[in-house]
Structure 1
């Protein structure tokens, strides 16, 4: 158990949170901004996780 496994768990947790926010934004009318923020954070976290995993 090292830094890499801790970082992987954190990234997966953040991806789940951002996905939930995006879905809530789609389901609840008037919260379109939540969908946008959730999608941006999801993509950003996924890219960050991919880049850190490759190095």
Structure 2
């Protein structure tokens, strides 16, 4: 493999990792908040709101 091809693979893999981590974090946060509202637990922020009301 030439040097530029190696750099391309490294850059592409890094971009995939960043995109995957960002998407996973966003989905997890969204799903976690929704499930906590349904189950009445799981997300500390939702629990605090529930305790006050």
TM normalised by structure 2 equals: 0.49
- Decide which structure has the larger Cα Rg and report it: 2
Q: Which has the higher contact order (CA 8 A, sep 6+)?
A: 1
TM normalised by structure 1 equals: 0.48
